[in-house]
Amino acid sequence: MQLQLKIWHKMIIGIAIPSLIVLVGSIFTYEYLNDVKDRQEFVEIADDIKEDVLEIRRNEKNFFLYRNAEHRDNVYNAIFILKNTISSISQEIIEDIGQEDFSVLNESVQTYTDYIDELYESYREETKVTERVREEGRKLEDSVAKGRRAGGLTTSFVLNLRRLEKNYMFFRDKRSFLELHTALSELGDTAPGCTECISYKKAIGDLISAYSKSASVEKKLQVTGNRLEKIALKIARRERQKIKSFITVTNRFLLAAVALLCLLGPFFVYRTAKYIVTPINRLSEITKRIAAGDLNVRAPLKERDETYSLALSFNTMLDHLRERENQLIEKEKELYQSKKLASIGILTSGVAHELTNPLNNISMIAQTYTELYDKLSREDRLAFMNNVEKEAERIRDIVRDLLDFSKPKEKSFREADINTVVEKSLKLVQNMLDISNIETSVTLGSGIGRVFIDEHQIQQVLVNLITNAIQAMPGGGRLYIETGLSSDGEFVEIAIRDTGKGIPPEFLPHIFDPFFSTKGVEGTGLGMSVSYGIIKTHKGNIKVQSKVGEGSTFTVELPVYRGDAA
Amino acid sequence: MNKQYKIMVIDDEKIVGDMAKMTLEQDGYVVETFLNAAPALERLKEEKFDVIVTDYKMKGIDGMEVLRTVKKLYPEIVVIMITAFANLDAAIEALRSDVHDFFPKPVKIKELKASIQRALSKQK
């Protein structure tokens, strides 16, 4: 026998699977939400980096403008803040940002710092050179003013040169450079061999190269700064992008989990309910059939679950029930037979009397025959013997009826006419009625349809009811027997009414109970319950109406036979 | 046997009447038979009978009623009762109503004849 899941297990599975879906969904959602929280942190850090870088760039501009140590330190501070931010980044975030981008960020910061240093050095060099240019400029001015280098040099030319020098220092652009350059070429042409002029020119040349170096470092710094800014923005943007897609995925996952739950939940609940209900329904179906009286059904032992033992108990119960029923049928048979014997006892006295008449007739024929033998004609003698034969037949018929009534019989249902059955029953008890001084009034309805009965049993019931009626009228009376159709036309009714003592109302409800008797020692009490049982097996009814002092009416109802053999 | 006595037999069993008539007529009685009591009682108004043999249990008017009626109207008529059941109560009741004899069935015809003879001789 295959082992099947028990209902309990099925229920657990039915409940566990949807629960598991919810649990898994919840865990994943929780994890995702945690991730989103981490992501938030990443985004914040990315934003910090971006802010730090922008702060550096702002300070860088100031540094470009003021070119002094103070602003360089400001840049340093900003770099320091950025470095702090970077160093606080966990390995996890680094992995998330990407090792490559992180390295680029770090390198860029380092390079940037180096360039700041270089630029500062360059600015210091610039300052020194600027001082020298101013020194040389002043020397040139002095010598022109003192006229030592009169040559072609004029004070206004030198002053203009100094103005161009200042312009160049201030603007550092191509135009001011070209103007200064032109003026310096003129200076070389107008005052060759002027040492101050040569020193000044050399100082200006140094200034130009210092400026160009600063410019190139600035350029490199800006490039590095831009790269730094770009990478910071890239990281920040990517983190935002990631968190966005994370939320999207989480949303989709939750949606999928809910959809799965909506789809699978009812399915599993339905399956579980079905698993549980199916065997119960099967048993319920069987109980219905049992209730309808079919004791041959057995619960199928299909599944080895909780209903298996139930079905097993059910079947055992059914076995017992059937056994009991068989015993009951056996007892009923015995009871029926014993009641019949009791009836036979009552009948016998009637029959004995009935036999007396034909016996007497035979006896008298025989006596007359003997006495008048010689005087009798041949015809007379034959007539005598014919009469003897007839009377013997009468005796045989009486005996046969009694035997027929007393013989135990197998149940045999057949179509019958109730009036015939009533007449036959009446014939059996006629003599008793005569003896008991009871007049009978029989009204047999015509066209009342036929019944499907065990004639012998119904006869037994009628004899029993008539015998009771006789016993209810010890001083004689009238017995009314009527047959007819019920008002709804579904039943054939046989009413047996006596004018006897009647049954007290408190006895009426017990009249069909076994061993209930109103007749004291005379009755066994079994007659009514046996009659009741017989009528019930015919799907009929037996009813009683009675009034003390007026008599009782027993009405037997039998279903009209419509050709559908039951 | 100088006087012809008249005997009436009432029994719903035809054979009883027939056999009684055959044997009693052999002894010189005049016998009339009836299957039930009503016409028999009517007949009594027309003709005087000496003996009435009646069955006890009959449909309609039964033997006891015949006995009572006859004893009331014609007390001199001898009534002999025959019965299919040896019922002591019935016998006592009949004797109280002055029945001459009481025979259970099956009837011994010789005894019946003797009883009739006895009654008639007593009457003389």
Q: Is the Cβ–Cβ distance between A560 and A449 less than 8 Å? A: yes
Q: Is the Cβ–Cβ distance between B40 and B8 less than 8 Å? A: yes
Q: Is the Cβ–Cβ distance between A462 and A422 less than 8 Å? A: yes
Contact of A363 with chain B, judged by CB distance below 8 Å, is answered with yes
pLDDT beyond 60 at B89: yes
Are the Cβ atoms of A368 and B85 closer than 8 angstroms? no
Domains of chain B, by residue range, sit at 6-123
pLDDT beyond 80 at B49: yes
**What distance in Å separates the CA atoms of residue A526 and residue A338, rounded to the nearest whole number?**
9
Q: Please tell me the distance in Å from B20's CA to the nearest CA on chain A.
A: 8
> Chain-wide mean pLDDT for chain A?
83
The predicted model gives A228-245 an average pLDDT of 86
pLDDT band at A99 (very low <50, low <70, confident <90, very high): confident
Q: Which domains, and CATH codes, for chain A?
A: 7-258 (1.20.58), 414-566 (3.30.565.10)
Taking CA A42 as the corner, what is the angle to CA A36 and CA A47, rounded to the nearest 5 degrees? 125
pLDDT band at A564 (very low <50, low <70, confident <90, very high): low
**What distance in Å separates the CA atoms of residue B69 and residue B75, rounded to the nearest whole number?**
9
Q: Please tell me the distance in Å from A460's CA to the nearest CA on chain B.
A: 26
Nearest CA in chain A to B112: A364
**What distance in Å separates the CA atoms of residue A393 and residue A356, rounded to the nearest whole number?**
14
Are the Cβ atoms of A361 and B15 closer than 8 angstroms? yes
Fold of B6-123: Rossmann fold (3.40.50)
Tell me: the pLDDT tens digits for A37-60? 877 888 888 888 889 999 999 998
Contacts of A362 in chain B (CB under 8 A): 106
User: In terms of pLDDT, which residue wins out, A76 or A2?
Assistant: A76
pLDDT beyond 60 at A565: no
Taking a contact as any Cβ pair under 8 Å apart, which residues of chain A between 298 and 357 contact chain B?
A: 353, 356-357
The predicted model gives B20-31 an average pLDDT of 94
Q: Please tell me the distance in Å from A352's CA to the nearest CA on chain B.
A: 9
User: In terms of pLDDT, which residue wins out, B65 or A29?
Assistant: B65
Q: Please tell me the distance in Å from A387's CA to the nearest CA on chain B.
A: 8
Nearest to A121 by CA among A31, A238, A221: A221
Nearest 5°: phi and psi at B51?
Answer: -135, 140
Long-range contacts, stretch B60-63, CB < 8 angstroms, 24+ apart:
B60/B36, B61/B36, B61/B37, B62/B37, B63/B10, B63/B37, B63/B94
Tell me: the pLDDT tens digits for A355-383? 888 999 999 999 999 999 999 999 999 99
Nearest to A555 by CA among A492, A506, A493, A513: A493
Find the CB nearest A360 among B23, B26, B84.
B84
**What distance in Å separates the CA atoms of residue A215 and residue A209, rounded to the nearest whole number?**
10
Bridge partners, residue A543, by sequence: A555
**What distance in Å separates the CA atoms of residue B104 and residue A363, rounded to the nearest whole number?**
12
Contacts of B22 in chain A (CB under 8 A): 368, 372
Tell me: the pLDDT tens digits for A180-230? 888 888 887 777 777 888 888 888 888 888 888 888 988 998 898 898 888
Are the Cβ atoms of A368 and B22 closer than 8 angstroms? yes
User: In terms of pLDDT, which residue wins out, A342 or A505?
Assistant: A505
Tell me: the pLDDT tens digits for A106-158? 888 999 999 999 989 988 998 899 899 888 888 888 888 777 655 667 888 88
ipTM of model: 0.92
Nearest CA in chain A to B14: A361
Which of A59-63, A218-222, B32-36 holds the top average pLDDT? B32-36
Nearest 5°: phi and psi at B99?
Answer: -80, 145
Q: Is the Cβ–Cβ distance between A177 and A185 less than 8 Å? A: no
Tell me: the pLDDT tens digits for A377-405? 999 999 999 999 999 988 988 887 777 76
Percent of chain A with pLDDT over 90: 17
CA dihedral (A80, A85, A86, A90) positive or negative: positive
**What distance in Å separates the CA atoms of residue A173 and residue A293, rounded to the nearest whole number?**
120
> Chain-wide mean pLDDT for chain B?
89
Predicted local confidence at residue B115, as pLDDT: 94
Chain B interface, best mutation among A354, A368, A438, by max B CB count within 10 A: A368
Tell me: the pLDDT tens digits for A428-481? 888 788 878 888 999 998 888 789 998 888 988 898 888 888 888 888 899 999
Q: Name the least confident of A152-161, A291-300, B90-99.
A: A291-300
Q: Please tell me the distance in Å from A556's CA to the nearest CA on chain B.
A: 29
Q: Is the Cβ–Cβ distance between A269 and A21 less than 8 Å? A: no
Predicted local confidence at residue A362, as pLDDT: 95
Q: Where are the alpha helices (DSSP H) in chain B?
A: 14-26, 37-46, 63-73, 88-96, 109-123
Are the Cβ atoms of A360 and B106 closer than 8 angstroms? yes
Nearest to A448 by CA among A565, A564, A558, A563: A558
Are the Cβ atoms of B106 and A356 closer than 8 angstroms? yes
How many interface pairs between A and B have CB atoms less than 8 angstroms apart? 56
Tell me: the pLDDT tens digits for A16-43? 777 887 888 788 878 877 877 877 888 8
Nearest CA in chain B to A375: B26
Nearest to B83 by CA among B6, B11, B7, B31: B11
Bridge partners, residue A444, by sequence: A483
Q: Is the Cβ–Cβ distance between A79 and A109 less than 8 Å? A: yes
Contacts of A430 in chain B (CB under 8 A): none
**What distance in Å separates the CA atoms of residue B87 and residue B80, rounded to the nearest whole number?**
15
Find the CB nearest A360 among B57, B59, B105.
B105
pLDDT beyond 50 at A566: no
DSSP code, position A539: T
Predicted local confidence at residue B2, as pLDDT: 54
Contact of A359 with chain B, judged by CB distance below 8 Å, is answered with yes
Are the Cβ atoms of A363 and B107 closer than 8 angstroms? yes
Are the Cβ atoms of A357 and B105 closer than 8 angstroms? yes
Nearest CA in chain B to A430: B59
Q: Please tell me the distance in Å from A343's CA to the nearest CA on chain B.
A: 20
Predicted local confidence at residue A2, as pLDDT: 44
Contacts of A356 in chain B (CB under 8 A): 84-85, 105-106
Predicted local confidence at residue A1, as pLDDT: 41
Nearest CA in chain A to B26: A372
Tell me: the pLDDT tens digits for A299-351? 777 767 777 777 788 888 888 888 888 888 888 777 766 766 666 666 676 67
Q: CA dihedral in degrees (B62, B68, B69, B73; nearest 10)?
A: 160
Q: How many other CB atoms are there within 10 angstroms of residue A530's CB atom?
A: 26
Predicted local confidence at residue A353, as pLDDT: 73
Are the Cβ atoms of B109 and A356 closer than 8 angstroms? no
Contacts of A360 in chain B (CB under 8 A): 13, 16, 84, 105-107
Find the CB nearest A356 among B22, B23, B85.
B85
pLDDT band at A3 (very low <50, low <70, confident <90, very high): very low
Are the Cβ atoms of B84 and A357 closer than 8 angstroms? yes
Find the CB nearest A360 among B23, B26, B107.
B107
Looking up tokens 């033998």 gives: A373
Q: Is the Cβ–Cβ distance between A346 and B1 less than 8 Å? A: no
pLDDT band at A527 (very low <50, low <70, confident <90, very high): low
Contact of A368 with chain B, judged by CB distance below 8 Å, is answered with yes
Residues of chain B in Cβ contact (below 8 Å) with chain A:
13, 15-16, 19-20, 22-23, 26, 57, 59, 84-85, 105-110
